[in-house]
Every structure is written in structure tokens, then in C-alpha cells.
């Protein structure tokens, strides 16, 4: 339960930060040129990518420990 609250607080803080800072960041894609992307979008995407990677790593470690027994 505390993890859910923590995630919601982080999302709220990132959202408030984004509302205050609506700058755009230039992102260059290989073979496609550049594009202006809102900074808040990049922050939210990086948060969810980090959460997904942490969840996948937890799952891998869980199944490795489970198979050793």
C-alpha cells in the first residue's frame, strides 16, 4: 500500500512540475531528424521505463531464486 501511495505522490509531483514548466526539448532521432518534445512527456516516459525495468528485474530475480529451491 505504501508503494502505491509513493508512486501516486511521485506522479503528482512530476505532473505539478510539468504544469509549471511547459518547455520543449529538442530530441534528435537517428535517420529521422529532430523533433520538439514537451519536457514533461520525457520525464513521465523515463519514469515508466524505469518502473518497467525494475519490475522486470524483480521478476527475473524472483524466478531465479524460485528455481534454485
Structure confidence at residue 1 (pLDDT): 81
What does pTM read for this prediction? 0.57
Mapping DSSP onto H, E and C, the string for the chain reads: CHHHHHHHHHHHHHHHHHHHCCCEEEEEECCCEEEEEEHHHHHHHHHHHHHHHHHHHHHHHHHHHHHHC
Query: Are the C-beta atoms of 43 and 17 separated by less than 8 Å?
Result: yes
Structure confidence at residue 43 (pLDDT): 82
Residues of the chain with pLDDT under 70: 18, 21, 69
Amino acid at each position: 500500500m505504501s508503494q502505491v501511495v509513493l508512486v501516486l505522490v511521485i506522479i503528482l509531483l512530476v505532473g505539478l512540475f510539468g504544469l509549471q514548466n511547459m518547455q520543449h526539448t529538442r530530441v534528435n532521432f537517428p535517420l529521422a531528424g529532430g523533433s520538439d518534445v514537451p519536457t514533461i512527456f520525457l520525464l513521465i516516459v523515463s519514469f515508466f521505463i524505469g518502473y518497467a525495468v525494475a519490475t522486470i528485474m524483480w521478476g527475473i530475480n524472483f524466478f531465479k531464486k524460485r528455481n534454485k529451491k
